[in-house]
A and B are shown apart, each in its own frame.
Chain A
Amino acid sequence: MISLKDIVPAATNTISTQFILLDKGNIGQDGKETTCLALVADESASVHFQLWGDECHFFEPGDIIRLTNGIFSYHRSNLVLRAGKKGRAEKVGEFNMLFVETPNMSEIKWANDPTNPRKFVKEAVLSSHSRIFPTLL
């Protein structure tokens, strides 16, 4: 299990973590597939999570989700975490989990690591909080 603050964009399905779903955007179509962008968070950070197919209708705000072998990468120019074809997201509970909304890992600008071009490093914080999902005050 990795904390959300430690995830780094990569082209591999290696992220196993647990988070709580805070907010959902509108459900739409991406080609044949139903998709929906969501805000999820754990005690260390938040991130945008891309829901696919049945996930879009099933997961609701307040659900605690366990992600196994997920991927954090650019999808249509948005940096999102998702289960992908090889990963799995499943509901393990509701409500009883703490979270923070900042930093948001999708709102960080990443650059290639000069010492290792296959890796990303943090370059700048684009926004402290999600610019898509408003904070509830």
Chain B
Amino acid sequence: MSTSKLLRICSLDAENPIDSSLREAFSSLHDRLKPPFPLTIPSPSEYSQLNLALAYGILTEPHLAKTHLTHLHAIVIDGYNNFTTILINLSNESYPKLLQIPKSQLLWMSSKLVQVAAVKVETLIISLLRQIKVGDFSEPNLWLCSELITILANNWDWLLEEPLIMKSSLFVFLRLLADHYRLVGRPELDKLKRMEIEFCIRVLREHFDICLHIGRDLIRLLQDLVFVPEFKDVWMDFLSDPGKFGVPVFMDISQLYRTRTPSHYFSLTITPEMETQLRFLLNHVKWGSQKRYQAWFAKKHFCTPGSETVIVDIVRFICCAHHPPNEIIQSNVISRWAIIGWLLKCCKKNYFLANVKLALLFDWLFFDDKVDNIMNIEPAMLLMVNSINQYIDITHTLLEFLFLLVDNYDLQRRELIFKGVSNSFSLLVRKGVVHSLESLTSCNQLSPVFREKLASMISSSDLATMKGSSEMCQRQVKIAPTTKCNVDSGKVSLANFELNDAGLQ
């Protein structure tokens, strides 16, 4: 088997189809890739072969890349669609396996495609952004951050035409910056941090109207950066002078709280490989079989120092971007709450754990059933209820954190948050995600303080006004037993009530 100039492939790896199609096109057209270039117009199939051959040439022959690029500019008839698609597939399928030279060439070529505003180049940039691994502080990963932020900063005019890229890259680099800023004793990182700060601040200060579309997760990301002086100023303006952002409709931070972050943002900070594995786990793996998959996932993604920080992003992804259909929820496929329970146990550092709990409960704080999706808050509810028997520490820690958030997250907007959490409990019962909250309110293992807080929250929600629940308000321990008749099981299944302990270790 021939060794690849493109990918790190060993003799025991099966042949990679992208690698072979590129290599074969290159070797069959090799003689035609040198000047003078032919004057004839290629047929559609010749055109796509020529694109493959030029892509291979550019990726593996850096000394001839400029010639190949001139050739590409000369033959292009589709706005670079064909060529860009080749690079997108390569990035999505094989970026982690790319050798160093093709990797550098891919980034160089991407910057050239941005300069000509190639068709689909925005997809290519998103694909490359997703190759950055959150929590990976190795040199190749930091190199990729630096290459991409350079492309973005150098192509500001293009960025203005591509608001999705602007929002997406802001989301990614705010997230990365929180980790990079915390990393001390790495002077080589200073330049990268500076570029990340400048980029994010410029987007926030000059195009806040676009940033508003990100919604509440923008706040979650920014609060991790409050210790960075430039972002401290942004916070001050958020709280005391929102007019400074020059967006007339933005008058208060609660507008961001009330905007649900669109689900595609949550795929940005996990790699395509992680997404595929998580979706496989949550769509196909049955209760009882998950242990080995969890071990493989942890070995692959959580084994380097600091890598557990990505658990925050995984939890947001599971809550907000992976919503299984009813057939899956009602089957014996492992549930989202159980995987999140396992992820919580994977967090060794308290700092990360607090962020993971916030990620899990974040939508509860601002929940409004007119704009929010019950599937975003379902995992935390089921995890709390299903952990009572064997993992009461999880129920306890989540409730404790939830009440802590209600009381302290934003003192000036405590009422809004109280209402969000109370709405969450209420809707989860009304829609039948849990029959009632009695398992929590009558659980002797939970501290009486929590049970009282929970009861007072319920009594102020619309659950309290539901038929049969007035008694509950007086006794402050039980919740409406008749809520079951209000179940809308068309939206949320009643399945998965039994705790399968296997999920939580």
Contact = CB atoms under 8 A, between A and B. Distances in A.
Interface in A15-68: 22, 54-55, 58-59, 61-62, 66
Given A62-B300, A137-B502, A95 B14 contact: no
Interface string A94-133: 1110111000000000000000000000000000000000
A55 B12 contact: yes
B97 to A, nearest CB: 12
Given A92-B14, A136-B291, A62 B296 contact: yes
26 contacts: A54-B11, A54-B12, A55-B12, A58-B12, A61-B295, A62-B292, A89-B12, A90-B12, A90-B14, A91-B12, A91-B13, A91-B14, A92-B14, A95-B276, A95-B280, A95-B296, A95-B297, A95-B300, A96-B276, A96-B277, A98-B284, A98-B285, A136-B291, A136-B292, A137-B291, A137-B502
B289 interface: yes
**Chain B at the A interface: SS class:** helix
B293 A95 contact: yes
**Chain A at the B interface: SS class:** loop
Contacts of A90: 12-14
B116 interface: no
B289 A99 contact: yes
B320 to A, nearest CB: 22
A66 B12 contact: no
- Can you list the 5 inter-chain pairs with the closest CB atoms, starting with the nearest? A62-B296, A136-B291, A90-B14, A92-B14, A96-B280
A89 B11 CA distance: 10
Interface residues of A, number: 20
A89 B10 CA distance: 12
Interface in A60-100: 61-62, 66, 89-92, 94-96, 98-100
Nearest to B13: A91
Contacts of B13: 90-91
A61 B293 CA distance: 10
A15 B462 CA distance: 64
B186 to A, nearest CB: 30
A98 B293 CA distance: 10
A55 B11 CA distance: 10
Interface string B270-300: 0000001100100011001101110111011
B339 to A, nearest CB: 14
Contact of A58 (B10, B277, B299): B10
Contacts of A66: 14
Contacts of A91: 12-14
A124 B500 CA distance: 33
Interface in B443-468: none
Nearest to B294: A136
A100 B299 CA distance: 21
A103 B296 CA distance: 23
B296 A61 contact: yes
A55 B13 CA distance: 10
A81 B8 CA distance: 28
